[in-house]
Amino acid sequence: MRILVTGGAGFIGSHLVDAYLAAGHEVAVVDDLSTGFRHNLDPRAHFWQMDIRSADLWRVLGEFRPAVISHHAAQMSVAVSVAEPRRDAEVNILGTLQLLEGAVRHDVRQVVFASTGGAMYGNEVVVPTPESAVPRPVSPYGVSKLAGERYLTAFRSMHGLRSVALRYANVYGPRQSPHGEAGVVAIFCGRILTGQPLAVHGDGAQTRDYVHVTDVVRANLLATRPEGPDAGEVLNIGSGTETSVLDLIRSLEQIGGARLATRHGPARPGEQRRSVLDSRLAMQQLAWRPTLDLRSGLQQTLAWFHDHQRPGRKPAASEPAEDPPISG
């Protein structure tokens, strides 16, 4: 099967490309490399360096003719969405809309949409939060992802385009960038390696649901099957375990066997106080459940950072000596 992964050079997308190739699919990637990296990509994947808002996107769809689109390209930072809500909407709403219009034009069978559970529900919900909770996002990022889900529903009704939206909890694991605002586990791992204090926004009691990227990839593979969910299904993908920022730091201290310095700053606007997902519907619809506990996942992730991101490490032949994210 031909599968197009938008954002496929990024953290989650590149792991998904690897898994689709391992399963025997033909894979193409569209990525503007604003936060992804070329060295993340398996050379067997077709690659177009392109913004999903580009007018050339439909040409790529016409050339590759995918049966499935896995849509992971996004402006993914809550903080950036608060500072630049227009930019967030242009990428996450208008970019997604252009992709869906192209999917209909070129007979794509299914779209798997990377949505958010961590920024979707707001603060006035029961936790763990099921999909039946009324979405009340408190950031432009959450609003734009909700708009993407609504467009999936509309395109299903208007054009018969099959789709499933996977509402991710806080995904972490190898290849996540330690730079920028997204991915507190990666940011903490990067600071641990460079001996910098860990920045804690607010009191550190805010909670998140951390799910390892391997479990997220497996959910995508299950959702992509011909017998997978249909009718605009929305599924939470999380661990179901609530962990505070301070608890996360304590776990990293236990793994490393040393106390970590912290630096407290003001709470960030648009950030939810508590977030943990009820993923029982995904267990029913996909026969999916998380398999990697947080302690094991953190050990694996920190080991990867030691091997790939430690100061003074000489880059592998396939990696650039310096490859910072490009904004835009």
Q: Which of 111, 130, 39 is nearest to 68 (CA)?
A: 111
Cα–Cα distance between 46 and 23 in angstroms, integer? 16
Q: In which residue are the tokens 């099957």 written?
A: 225
Does 141 participate in catalysis according to the annotation? Answer: yes
Which has the closest alpha carbon to 241: 127, 138, 134? 127
The structure tokens listed for 181 are: 């605002």
| Assigned token pair, 94 | 């208008």
Catalytic residue among 20, 121, 141, 168: 141
For residue 251, give every residue at least 6 positions away whose Cβ sits within 8 Å of its Cβ, in sequence order, or none. 243, 294, 295, 298
Contact 248, 185 (CB under 8 A): yes
**Contact present, 111 and 71 (Cβ < 8 Å):** yes
Structure tokens at 147: 């708009």
> 100 and 147 in contact (C-beta within 8 Å)?
no
Nearest alpha-carbon partner for 157 in 66, 91, 229, 230: 230
| Token pair recorded at residue 185 | 């586990």
Taking the CA atoms of residue 193, residue 194, residue 196 and residue 200 in that order, the dihedral angle to the nearest 10 degrees is -40
For the record, the structure tokens of 212 come out as 């390892």
Tokens of 148: 């993407």
- Identify residue 219 by its one-letter amino acid code: A
Show the beta-strand stretches assigned E in the chain.
2-6, 26-31, 46-49, 68-71, 110-116, 162-168, 170-172, 198-201, 207-208, 210-212, 233-237, 243-244, 262-265
* Residues with a known catalytic role: 141
